[in-house]
Amino acid sequence: MKQHVRILMFLFIACIFSSGPAGAAETQRKAEKAKQPACDTNISSEKISVTQHKLKVSGRTIKYTATAGCLQIKDEAEKPRVNVFYIAYEKKTGDDKSERPVTFVFNGGPGASSVFLHLGALGPKRVLLSEEGTALPAAAKLVANDYTWLYFTDLVFIDPVGTGYSRTAPGVDAKQFYSVEEDAKLAGEFIRLYITRQGRWLSPKFIAGESYGATRAAALAGYLQNTVNMNVSGLVLISPALNFQTFRFNQGNDLPAVLYLPSYTAAAWYHKKLAPALQESLQKSLKETEAWTLNEYSPALEKGSELSSDEQYKIDAKLAFYTGLTSKYIKSSKMRISPLRFAKELLRDEHRTTGILDARVKGIDSDAAGEYAEFDPALFMTTGPYAAAINDYVRKELKYETDLFYEVLNLKVNREWNWGSAAQGYVNVSETLREAMSRNRHLKVFIACGYYDLATPYYATEYTINHLGLEPGLRHNIVLEHYESGHQLYTHLPSLKKMTDDAAGFFKK
């Protein structure tokens, strides 16, 4: 049971369910650990590769420079501590860079490299997926990304310690960087050093993060302003994790039960498990579910044992109505349905499960009668192709040679993460975000959420934003958009197109 609960705290690495593909990756990583040249054993040097490229999409041509390499972080005694691997893209626009934005990009986990946003959405190349994003071609294939953000911002994709090719110096314990605070400090030092070396102090600076990457982005906004005296122009938070209380199903915490319900409705709608009245319109059904959760469901949970039998019956019936689950199953759940159970139960009669990262994706378990899904089919769908693509791409196109294992998802980092106060409560960077926006009134925030995301549900993000406590004038600095996709919303091509258009508009403002 504990292993299944961990997924909700350790957001992005949903393969913690099983020893399947994650176990294979861990075995491969250990097997190749002995072969670590490049920016690994030779930590005293910074190896980089600079290449020139052209991108022609939709009748437009972009000339850009790609830099793949390691930026070295030292301690106060000038001794190497970490080599942080990054891939940067800079559009050729002339000598003056002061008006050209630069965006630093992270994925989540913790323990995830930046490959997903890099080759899934923002970079000049992307992994080819199906139009719907629920299936893959037979083999991984990289194509020109018509929707790259390089059109309106330079991009720097950063792999935190223990991910990608980022490694600590010999004798330096990597675990010291596996915490919310130390992770933000290291990322902040990377950004400061990169900005300084590239002469970008006057450029508009943005931070983009997905899942725990959004946790990192919010923490960074505060750290850079308060410690480095560097004001950030904007944050891009994709499928964000800001207040962990909103999705951790702990005993006594009923908030997630309420905030997940609209996402269950969306998933049931997609798989056609709802009553005919709710199948007519996704948007209409979501609004109805949201209203019921606020007006009836949440108050019922607050009553606890004081809830009457008649009230209990009515709540159970409505939960069955809005989730597509049976009344019998709802009654046994005590009005609280975790996403892990929902993913197993919704399609049980078909001997199928739904994804956690994307409830549209179906999986097949060996035990159809089990309580929880054995793995997340949505995560499995992307990890293999993205790993193949990045390993081929860095060598063939970016000319960066290394035998080091590229850590796409490092479960060791995930397991050893120090959550600090989360041992007694919940990680919550929403207050850091509020403080950063209140001090820097020019700071803008763009948030992208997927309806079918059962890891960081969209309604939880809305709740967090509505409870920031911002003064009314600053609330307009936040733009919140929704997409008919999951956690990795860019796997759905229409959502990728929409997100790019929405982000372009945000950057122009």
Domain check: are 435 and 404 in the same one?
Answer: yes
Q: What is the mean pLDDT of residues 475-482?
A: 96
- Report the percent of the chain where pLDDT is more than 70: 90
C-alpha–C-alpha distance, residues 225 and 434, integer Å? 13
With a CB cutoff of 8 Å and minimum separation 6, the contacts of 179 are 417, 418, 419, 420
Domain check: are 174 and 301 in the same one?
Answer: no
Tokens of 304: 């606890």
Domain check: are 235 and 308 in the same one?
Answer: no
Encode pLDDT of 303-323 as tens digits. 998 999 999 999 999 999 999
In a domain? residue 39: yes
Domain check: are 230 and 260 in the same one?
Answer: no
Structurally, the chain folds into a number of domains equal to 2
CATH of residue 121: 3.40.50.1820
Q: Could you tell me if 353 and 373 are in contact, meaning their C-beta atoms sit under 8 angstroms apart?
A: yes
Domain check: are 280 and 176 in the same one?
Answer: no
The better pLDDT of the pair 58, 175 is held by 175
Domain check: are 207 and 268 in the same one?
Answer: no
Q: Could you tell me if 217 and 235 are in contact, meaning their C-beta atoms sit under 8 angstroms apart?
A: yes
In a domain? residue 104: yes
Encode pLDDT of 335-369 as tens digits. 999 999 999 999 999 999 999 999 999 999 888 88
Domain check: are 349 and 397 in the same one?
Answer: no
In a domain? residue 141: yes
Domain check: are 115 and 200 in the same one?
Answer: yes
Give residue 283's domain range: 254-378
Residue ending a domain, among 378, 404, 426, is 378
Encode pLDDT of 2-13 as tens digits. 343 344 434 444
In a domain? residue 385: no
What pTM value is reported for the model?
Answer: 0.91
Burial 484-498 (b: 16+ CB within 10 A, else e): bbbbbbbbbbebbeb
Residue ending a domain, among 329, 350, 378, is 378
Q: What is the mean pLDDT of residues 224-235?
A: 96
Residue ending a domain, among 323, 350, 378, is 378
Domain check: are 34 and 132 in the same one?
Answer: yes
**Greatest mean pLDDT range, 57-66, 206-215, 367-376:** 206-215
Q: pLDDT grade, residue 45 (50/70/90)?
A: low
Domain check: are 418 and 368 in the same one?
Answer: no
In a domain? residue 387: no
Distance between terminal CA atoms of the chain? 47
In a domain? residue 153: yes
